[in-house]
Amino acid sequence: MSNRISPEKQQRIDFESQFINFEMIDILSKTILEELEAWANKTIYKPLGGVLRVERPLDESVNACAGINPKTPLEAVIKINMGMIREIYRDSFVFPPFSEQFVKDSDNIRDLNSQFRNLGFTFDSGLPVIQEDKRNNLYHLVKDIYVGKGERFTEDATACRFMYFEIALAWVFFHELSHLIQCHYRLKNQPSANVDLIEYHEIISSTESPEENSKEQSREILADMEGIDLTLKYMIRKDIFSSGALYLFMCALGCLFNRFYNGHSEKIDIGTGSHPHPIIRNEFSVAFITNSISQRLIEMGYAKDKLSVDIAIVYLSTRASLMSGIYWGWRYEDQQDGALTSFMKYSTTHDPEPRKACCLALEIEMNNQLVTIAGNHLMTDNFLSALSQMKSFFSQNG
Ligand SMILES: [Zn+2]
């Protein structure tokens, strides 16, 4: 296991915690999660005679889980620790001003934009501009408290901060929900007749066999992908979908996978854990999100064909990967200024063979389990339609 967190930086972050407004985190996360809980009950659980509870345990660890009793699988619970919510909130506050400062101090984004011929979808500013009518309710709730309180709290930056927070938290919720609605308990190795509770924790080590690990890991990838699909639908439903919000979603995912990478070695293989190597999760997620968005934009009438939007999506994704990687290195890791982090090396062609082998092994397991998932899925309108329009991840990642 490899701890890449700089002790000095961690000390600074711990010091900073005393200034975090815990009441604000409590109120905002409650607002988002209660609404999501009500939506899931109304749309999925109630019509089936079930119920979903969402809890926010007062636990410092950056963890979340979904749980059911296999004897009553329609009574489900999702727990997202306050420790995880606090860290998402922290990044939602620090990532935007970091982005603004970064474009002032370096030419990287200008260089990237010129690689994309400065076409209309590129932007030179540190943050995207989210139009007034696409800002979220949280922004309107807090704008009088924050906007204008210092140079870091411009309207645009405040809109981005609260968008980042809402979307990142929604994705964590939807990832957990996906374990439940895909009925992953049916795919567990052990017979579940005598088990009272099956929980899917996000941070856990596993002692099962490599064969079981690859099955569990592929289910995590499937939960990541359906989590993305549900987050995109959520953004559309709430009328907050815009290229700026999409970019922030990609940045938030990048930050989360950078976070999960800590403790993983650079060696990429199936290994012994229940969760895939974060580099691999990131590869599948980027492939899914880029495909899924172009499909949605065509469905919504914003684009005529895939080709016309693909270049813009590749730009947003490349920029999000660059910015989240640089941010992570600067903010948390023990490294020299300007050096590529270990995670960022993998956004280049670094070490392709083990990545391909790992993606292929997981894709085979995904396909094996999709038959059961498709037959038991709790939602008729689910991510399988987006998935079926994609070619092999493996060949895309090749
Ligand atoms: Zn999971």
Q: Enter the tokens of residue 78.
A: 């999702």
Q: Is 62 among the domain residues?
A: no
Alpha-carbon span 46 to 27, nearest angstrom = 26
Its domain, for residue 102, covers 94-183+206-395
Distance 176 CA to ligand 1 centre (A): 6
359: in domain:
yes
- 64 bridge partner residues: 80
Burial class (CB in 10 A: 0-12, 13-18, 19+), 186: middle
CA 224 – ligand 1 centroid, Å: 7
Do the domain assignments include residue 342?
yes
Asked, for residue 248, whether it belongs to a domain, the answer is: yes
Alpha carbon distances (Å) from 250 to 10, 19, 351 = 25, 27, 23
Distance CA 317, CA 254 (A): 9
Cα–ligand 1 centroid distance for 351 (angstroms): 26
CA 32 to centroid of ligand 1, rounded, Å: 20
Query: Which residue matches tokens 């990044």?
Result: 91
Kindly state whether residue 39 falls inside one of the protein's structural domains: no
Q: Ligand 1: distance of its center to the CA of 226 in Å?
A: 11
Is 279 among the domain residues?
yes
Q: How far is the CA of 269 from the centre of ligand 1 (A)?
A: 18
Instruction: Give pLDDT tens digits along the chain (398 positions).
Output: 578 899 999 999 888 888 888 999 999 999 999 999 999 999 999 999 999 999 999 999 999 999 999 889 999 999 999 999 999 999 999 999 999 999 999 999 999 999 999 999 999 999 999 999 999 999 999 999 888 887 788 899 999 999 999 999 999 999 999 999 999 999 987 655 566 777 777 776 565 677 788 899 999 999 999 999 999 999 999 999 999 999 999 999 999 999 998 888 888 888 878 889 999 999 999 999 988 998 888 888 888 888 878 999 999 999 999 999 999 999 999 877 777 888 898 877 788 898 899 999 999 999 999 999 999 999 999 999 888 887 655 444 43
- Centre of ligand 1 to C-alpha 115, Å, is 36
With respect to residue 35, please indicate whether it lies within any of the assigned structural domains. no
Query: How far does residue 283's CA lie from ligand 1's centre (Å)?
Result: 16
285 CA to centre of ligand 1 in angstroms = 13
Number of structural domains the chain divides into: 1
Tell how far the Cα of 59 is from the centroid of ligand 1, in angstroms. 18
Pairing of strands 75-80, 51-55: parallel
Residue 53 lies in a domain: no
Query: What are the DSSP calls for 219-283, one per residue?
Result: HHHHHHHHHHHHHHHHHHHTT---HHHHHHHHHHHHHHHHHHHTT--S--S--SSSS--HHHHHH
237 vs 183: CA distance, rounded Å:
24
Residue 349 β-bridge partners: none
C-alpha–C-alpha distance, residues 290 and 288, integer Å? 6
Strands (E), the chain: 51-55, 64-68, 75-80, 198-201
Residue with tokens 């030179």: 124
Q: Which residue has the tokens 């001003």?
A: 97
Nearest to 229 by CA among 86, 379, 362: 379
How far is it, in rounded angstroms, from Cα 30 to Cα 40? 15
